[in-house]
Amino acid sequence: MKRYLILEDGTTFAGQAFGDLTKEVSGEVVFNTGMTGYQEAITDPSYTNQLITFTYPLIGNYGIDQNRSQSLKATCTAVIVHQLAEQSFHYTSQESLDNFLKTQQIPGISGIDTRALTKHLRQHGTMAGILSKQAHVTNFAKAAQQTLTEKEPAYQTQYYSTNLAKHHVVLIDFGVKQAIIDNLLAHECSVDVVPYASDFTTIANLNPDGILLSNGPANPTDYADSLPLIQQLQTHYPLAGICLGHQLFALANGATTYQLSYGHRGLNHPVKNLITGKTIMTSQNHGYAVAADSLATTPLQVTQVEGNDGSVEGLKHETLPAISVQYHPEANPGPSDGNSFFNQFNQLMTEGVLQHA
């Protein structure tokens, strides 16, 4: 079955449909440069309302293992590949990518020149696109109109515990990846996951040793209502932020953010630590960044920068026990170089507990 990807500037790519064969969808077309990790990306809430282009030419070759999923269901809008593997070969594979997308009601397109598509997005910037059965769309603006999926998680509180717990973390959920929770547990933390609309009293009643602001989708300025809560939390508890949480931490302290031309989405982004001078390789997935020139009048200091474009990758508060990173220290997929972030967060909580003992 033919399927067409139509970008807002009129550029059209024709390919073959896979996954859900009935849906026509629209959203932001982005690209991911990872050679592996397609399942983790497809189930990463940060990709909500986005059509993911995988630049690696063959996708689906090791199938789907439900244990690798980063949320309970696929969260992207569509999947774009050059070649879809017809068979999967891996001892943990439980089903094919095609079948997984069918059951998740996510459409896909294969057989297009993803290299050309990626070069087009790099040259002209991330743009809206429509995945359609029709080669021509008469009213692109109407067809591409996309209302952001309801961001509020449909639960009250979720608790994760470990017998080795030394600290108790309240994780503010803007669209958290399961791997972040898993890493907190591995670093001897019990975790209460709460919706981002929770109030200060609800969080305080959980008696946390620290607060973690999670990753998540969309423009950080869409979460303006959460900034007063972050401002209050950082004055009472050690606080850390990851990806969107990093951006919200910056906004809460007076900085601004901006949209990158085509985002950072891949597994090999170098990040330099300005304090140690060490460079690590990181996993990243974001379309917005903190504006470095907006930090001069804030109490925040830049601790890490991106090696390719110099964008802000790490922050710390000058007087409060609060830190953040733009990259994904939990990886999944990707390199584990940034995993020490969880050790730093633990150290902040240890010092905080001692100060308030």
138-147, 231-240, 250-259, 296-305, range with the lowest pLDDT: 138-147
pLDDT tens, position by position, 14-33: 999 999 999 999 999 999 99
129-138, 248-257, 266-275, 338-347, range with the lowest pLDDT: 129-138
In this structure, are 274 and 315 located in the same domain? yes
Tell me the CB-side half-sphere exposure of residue 99, using CA atoms within 13 A.
11
pLDDT value at position 162?
A: 81
**Tell me, what CATH number does 16's domain have?**
3.50.30.20
Q: What are phi and psi of 157, to 5 degrees?
A: -145, 140
Asked if the structure places residue 149 within a domain, the reply is no
Place of tokens 């690209």: 31
Q: What are phi and psi of 126, to 5 degrees?
A: -55, 140
CA–CA distance, 191 with 213 (Å, rounded to integer): 12
244 is an annotated ligand-binding site residue: yes
Question: Taking residues 251-269, what's their average pLDDT?
Answer: 97
To the query of whether residue 168 is one of the catalytic residues in this protein, the response is no
Asked if the structure places residue 152 within a domain, the reply is no
Question: Taking residues 215-237, what's their average pLDDT?
Answer: 97
Structure-token pair, residue 185 = 């547990």
pLDDT value at position 144?
A: 67
In this structure, are 117 and 236 located in the same domain? no
pLDDT tens, position by position, 298-339: 999 999 999 999 999 999 999 999 999 999 999 989 999 999
Asked if the structure places residue 150 within a domain, the reply is no
285 is an annotated ligand-binding site residue: yes
Choose, from 243, 246, 306, 313, the residue flagged as catalytic: 243
Asked if the structure places residue 255 within a domain, the reply is yes
Beta carbons of 325 and 344 less than 8 angstroms apart: no
Q: What percent of the chain has pLDDT over 70?
A: 94
CA–CA distance, 326 with 240 (Å, rounded to integer): 11
In this structure, are 85 and 174 located in the same domain? no
CA–CA distance, 113 with 119 (Å, rounded to integer): 10
To the query of whether residue 330 is one of the catalytic residues in this protein, the response is yes
Asked if the structure places residue 151 within a domain, the reply is no
287 is an annotated ligand-binding site residue: yes
- Residue 173's DSSP bridge partners are 195
Q: Kindly report the pTM of this predicted structure.
A: 0.94
**Tell me, what CATH number does 275's domain have?**
3.40.50.880
- pLDDT band at 149, cuts 50/70/90? very low
Which residue spans within 180-311 are E strands per DSSP?
Answer: 189-195, 210-213, 239-242, 257-273, 279-290, 300-306
Range of the domain at 189: 158-355
In this structure, are 193 and 324 located in the same domain? yes
Asked if the structure places residue 310 within a domain, the reply is yes
CA–CA distance, 288 with 312 (Å, rounded to integer): 11
Q: State the average pLDDT for the chain.
A: 93
234 is an annotated ligand-binding site residue: no
In this structure, are 134 and 166 located in the same domain? no
pLDDT tens, position by position, 44-67: 999 999 999 999 999 999 999 999
In this structure, are 127 and 204 located in the same domain? no
In this structure, are 13 and 114 located in the same domain? yes
In this structure, are 21 and 119 located in the same domain? yes
Asked if the structure places residue 133 within a domain, the reply is yes
In this structure, are 193 and 140 located in the same domain? no
How many whole angstroms from its chain centre is CA 302?
Answer: 21
In this structure, are 245 and 217 located in the same domain? yes
- Residue 333: is the preceding peptide bond cis (ω within 30°)? yes
Domain boundary among 95, 117, 144: 144
In this structure, are 101 and 250 located in the same domain? no
Domain boundary among 85, 117, 144: 144
Asked if the structure places residue 253 within a domain, the reply is yes
CA–CA distance, 339 with 326 (Å, rounded to integer): 13
Domain boundary among 103, 120, 144: 144
Domain count, the chain: 2
Residue 97 vs residue 137, higher pLDDT: 97
69 is an annotated ligand-binding site residue: no
In this structure, are 162 and 110 located in the same domain? no
pLDDT at 148 over 60: no
pLDDT value at position 137?
A: 82
pLDDT value at position 147?
A: 42
